[in-house]
Chains A and B, each alone.
Chain A
Amino acid sequence: MAERRTRPIRVAATVGRYVVLGLGAVAMVGPFAWMVATSLTSDAQLAQVDAPLMPDPITVDPYQRLNDAFPFWRFAANSLGVAAISTLVQLATSATAAYAFSRLRFPGSNALFVLYLATMMIPMQVIIVPLFIEMRYLGLVDTYLGLLLPTLVSSFGVFMLRQAFLALPKELDEAAYIDGAGHFRVFAQVLLPLVAPALATFAVFAFMSSWNAFLWPLVITQTEAHMTLPVGLSLLQGRYSTDWNVVMAGSTISVIPVLALYVFAQRYVVRGVTFTGIKS
C-alpha cells in the first residue's frame, strides 16, 4: 500500500504536515513571545507607533518596577499558597466524591450526581453577591479562609474523576475486599494509583483555574495582605493610561508556576498512558 504512493507525494505530504504544524506552533507561542518581548521594552519605545517586534534596547527595568507598584512577591506568595491548597483540597474532595458516585450504591445517587453537575452551569457572577453576604455573616471577609472556602470543591473534578473510576473494572475492588480491605483502602491503595493520569490532568486544571481566578479574590479581599496576583496585575492599569511593559513583566512571571506544574504533571500523564497500553 505504501509503495503505491510515489516518493514526491510522500515528501509533499510530510512538508505539508510540518508547515501546518509549524504555523500552529507560531500561533500558539506567538502571543507568549510578544508578552516577553513587551516586558523587556523601555517606556520610550512602548509609546512608539511602529515599534519593532524585538525591543532595542532590551531593558529589565519593568521587572524592577513591579515591586514598586504593589507588593509583588507577597501577592505571588498568596496566589501560590491559595492555588496549592485549593488544588490539593479539590483533589481530595473530588476523588472521594467520585469514588462514592461510582462505587457506592445509595438511594438517589444518580439524581444527586445530576444535580451536582448542574451547578457547573451557574456562573460566578450570578452568585457573587450572595456568596459575599454569606462570607460577611461568617466574619470571613478579607481573610484567607474566606478566599479559600468557595474554592475547595469542584463539580468538574467530581465529573472527571468519576469517569476515570468508572473505567476501572469492579474485579479490582472485589479482589481487594476478599483480601480484607475496607472502602478507604480500596480507594487509596488500589484505585487511586490507577487513575493517576486523570488526577494529574485535573490538578493542572484546578491549579490554573485557581491561579487565574480574578472576580472572587477581587471582591473578597480588601487589604493588600490577602490579595492575589491577578488582582495585583489589575492594579497596574491606570485610569487613563497603562504601563504595558510592567503589566507584561508581571504576567510573564505569573505564567511560570503554571508552566512548571504542567511540566511536572506531564510525566504522570504520559506514564499513565504507557501503563494502560501494557495492561490491555
Chain B
Amino acid sequence: MTIRRRRLAASAMAMAATTLLAACGAEPSSDDTATGTITYFTFSAAPDHLADLDAIKAEFERQNPGITVEVQTASYNDYFTKLQTAIAGGNAPDTFELNYENFVTYARSGALLPLNDLAQADSDYDPDRVYPRALEAFTLDGQLYAMPSTFSTVVLFYNKALFDAAGLEYPSPDWTWEDEWEAAQRLTDRANGIYGDFQPVTFHEFYKVLAQNGGSFLSADGKRATFNDAKGVEAAEWLLRKPGAVQPTLAEIGGTADYDTALFKSGKLAMWHNGIWQIAGLAATEGLDFDIVTEPGKTTKANAVFMNATAVSAQTRKATAAWKWVRFLSTSAKTVETRLASNWELPAVNDPAAFETYLKQSPPANRQAVFDALEHIALPPVIDEQQSKMQDIVTQALQKAATGEVSIQEALDEAADEVNALLS
C-alpha cells in the first residue's frame, strides 16, 4: 500500500511539474510583425463562398510572399460566442469580421487595434477608395478601428406578375406608406394563399420605419430611449397593421424557417421587405418575374444598410501583416471582382466603374435601387454591451402589442423603461 502511495505521489508531482513547464514555454517570441502566419475569422464565407475567399486569399499570398493567411469560419449564429470566448481567453484571431452592430461594443472594450497609424504608414492605401459613409461608420473618436469590407441594403422586392394580374402600377421610388398599404390590400387574396406584403415585426424593421417617420430611437446624446413618442407609436402601428390583413401572422407561419422566402419564390407574395442578399436565390428561381425599388417612407425615406468590416485584434503580434490583409480584403481589385461575380455582398468601395457590370445584370432590372438606398441611411442604434438584449426587448414588446394584450403605447413605454435601465 505504501509503495503504491509513493508511486502515485511521484506521478502526481511529475504531472504538476510538466504542466508548469508547459505554461512557461508556451509564449513564442516574434518581433517581426510584417511576415508570418495570420489568422482570419469570418462568418460570411461559410457555407456558400469558401471558394471565393480561397481565391482572394491565394491572390493576396501571391502578392505578399512571406505572409500566410489561415482562415477559420463559423456560422453567424455561433460566431460571436466563439469570438468572445477566444478574446476573453487571450487567444483572439489576428483579424476577424465584425458587423456594424457588434463593432461598437468591441471597439469600446479595447479588443480592436486602432488602425490610423498603420493606414498612414502604408503608401499603397488610398482612403478615397473606400466608400466614405462606411469609413465614417467604423471610425470611433477619430480613430479607425475596422476596415469596411462589404455592405448590403434592404429594399422592397415586388412580384411583377401579381401586379400585372391586379392591373396595378409597379411601386415607384416616390411611394409612401399609404401607397404601399393600398396596393397590398388590393393584391391580397387569402383564399388563394396570396399575400400583398411582408415586413417582419422585429427590432431591425422598427428602427428603420421609425426613421422613415422622422423619429429617432435614442436621444441625441444616446442616453435615453425616445422611441415611445408619437412617431414611434405610428411606426409600430404601421408594422403591426399588416399581419393578419395583408401578411401571414406568426401563428400562421408556425415557426417555419424562411417562410417569407418560400412565399416569394412560390410567387405567392406581392411585396417583400428584404435585403439584396436574396437576389442571387431569386434570380435562380424559375418563373419568378421580380424587380426592386427603394422602400417607401412616410415623412422621409430611410433605408437599412448592413455593413461588415474586418478588424485587427489588439492582441495580435503581426500588426503590419494583419493590416495588409485587411486592406487587401476590403479594397483590392481582386476582391471587388470576386465579390461582384459571385454575388457575395457588395464591396464597400468608391468605384462606380467596378459596379457597371453589376448594374447591367438582370434580374432585377432596377439594380440602381441598391445604390439609391445609400442616399438615406438609417443606422441601427447601438448601445455598449447588452446590444442583443436591447434588440430582444424591442422585438418582444412589438410582439406583445401584436397579440392585442396591451396597447402599442403601453408596450413601447415598457420597452423604453427597460432600455433606459440598460443604458444607465
Contact = CB atoms under 8 A, between A and B. Distances in A.
Contacts of B388: none
Nearest to A239: B76
B261 A241 contact: yes
B89 A129 contact: yes
Contacts of B23: 137-139
Contacts of B19: 138
A235 B85 contact: no
A129 B89 CA distance: 6
Contacts of B259: 49
B22 interface: yes
Interface in A119-155: 128-129, 132-133, 135-139, 141
Contacts, number: 101
Interface in B236-267: 257-259, 261-263, 265-266
B415 to A, nearest CB: 26
Nearest to A237: B75
B319 to A, nearest CB: 20
Contacts of A136: 26, 89-91
Interface stretch (B273-281, B346-354, B375-383): B273-281
Interface string A235-257: 11111111110000000000000
A237 B47 CA distance: 7
Interface in B66-109: 70, 72-78, 81-82, 85-86, 88-91, 93
Interface residues of A, number: 34
A70 B45 CA distance: 12
Contacts of A129: 85, 88-89
Interface string B267-307: 01000000101100100011000000000000000000000
B46 interface: yes
A219 B82 contact: yes
Nearest to B286: A44
Nearest to B284: A43
B263 A49 contact: yes
A46 B285 CA distance: 12
Nearest to B278: A240
Contacts of B93: 222
Residues of B contacting A: mostly: mixed
Interface in A74-91: none
Given A222-B72, A223-B72, A69 B257 contact: no
B77 A237 contact: yes
Contacts of B25: 139
Contacts of B404: none
Contacts of A242: 257-258
A235 B75 contact: yes
B89 A47 contact: no
Given A129-B85, A219-B81, A223-B70, A241 B281 contact: yes
Contacts of A223: 70, 72
Contacts of A235: 46-47, 73-75
Interface string A208-219: 000000010011
B389 to A, nearest CB: 16
Interface of A: 44, 46-50, 69-70, 128-129, 132-133, 135-139, 141, 215, 218-219, 222-223, 234-244
Given A49-B263, A138-B19, A237-B47, 12 more contacts: A47-B262, A129-B85, A133-B88, A133-B90, A215-B81, A218-B81, A223-B70, A235-B73, A239-B277, A240-B277, A241-B261, A241-B278
Give 3 nearest A-B pairs by CB, closest first.
A132-B89, A239-B76, A237-B75
Interface of B: 19, 22-23, 25-26, 39, 43-44, 46-48, 70, 72-78, 81-82, 85-86, 88-91, 93, 193, 257-259, 261-263, 265-266, 268, 275, 277-278, 281, 285-286
18 contacts: A47-B262, A49-B259, A49-B262, A50-B193, A132-B91, A136-B26, A138-B19, A139-B25, A218-B78, A222-B72, A234-B75, A234-B77, A236-B47, A238-B47, A238-B75, A239-B43, A240-B275, A241-B278
